[in-house]
Amino acid sequence: MNGVLWGERIHMSQQQEDISLRLCEVRARIGAAAARAGRDPAGVRLVAVTKTYPAELIREAMRAGLRDFGENKVQEGAAKIRELEPLWNGEGAGAPNDKHCFHLIGHLQTNKAKVAAMIFGMIHSVDSERLAVELNRHATAVGSTRDILLQVNVSGEDTKSGFEPAEIRSALPRIIKVCPALRLCGLMTMAPFVDDPEESRPCFAALRELSHELRGMTGADQSRLGRELSMGMTNDYETAIGEGATIVRIGTALFGHRGL
């Protein structure tokens, strides 16, 4: 066997083993955090954040047992999905299915909504009515329903996108009315970047409370807003689970720092 090819196979095998070990640790910590909160760990969905990592690493992560992958940029995610599409046996790599799902977790510009609606199984970062309307238009055009989360800027930081809490209270009924092709699965937020994850707890608690409030205020249409709460990353996902996170977005804890 060619020495270079043999070396590549050894590298991939080691990479998959490393990911598998990290995945076991992350799942154990998810389970412990859920247990402390009196929750079923099965109610927490792990999205592996693969932004800036190559498609080959995603392939190894799939072999290790990961099923959900989060990308920040439409173009980068689209390129990886095209490269990995043969793994879906022609089913369409971005379509929600029982095998794998790609999530868009980064900011989405309206001019990229068409592509995003076609390739991502769930879009976490819907941060305006205008974007929701665009996604609905493109989903309707192809006769599909797109899973989305409404991003809320709970922390109030100028550097973060998202609806303000007061804004989403008035926007939600309008989105429900004019966007029938969108499945409003729940809410998403990004907590401030802090050293102590406990400092993020009020942010996560606020999103949980806002979700409960919004599902109550939508009246007859309350089923249109789901219970998903996408919150928590490598540094604070255990705290987020304690406050009700149903989706955690984890990269570094699974793959190490970029370049390692």
Distance CA 133, CA 141 (A): 12
With residue 98 as reference, give the H or E element that holds it: none
How confident is the model over 85-128, as pLDDT tens digits? 776 554 444 443 445 799 999 999 999 999 999 999 999 999 99
- Residue 251 is classified by DSSP as S
How confident is the model over 25-75, as pLDDT tens digits? 999 999 999 999 999 999 999 999 999 999 999 999 998 999 999 999 999
Q: At what angle do helices 165-178 and 201-217 cross, to 10 degrees?
A: 40
Q: Where do the DSSP E strands lie in the chain? A: 45-49, 68-71, 101-104, 122-126, 146-151, 182-188, 225-230, 247-250
Residue boundaries of the structural domains of the chain: 3-255
Judge: domain 3-255, CATH 3.20.20.10.
yes
Burial of 100 (0-12, 13-18, 19+ CB in 10 A): buried
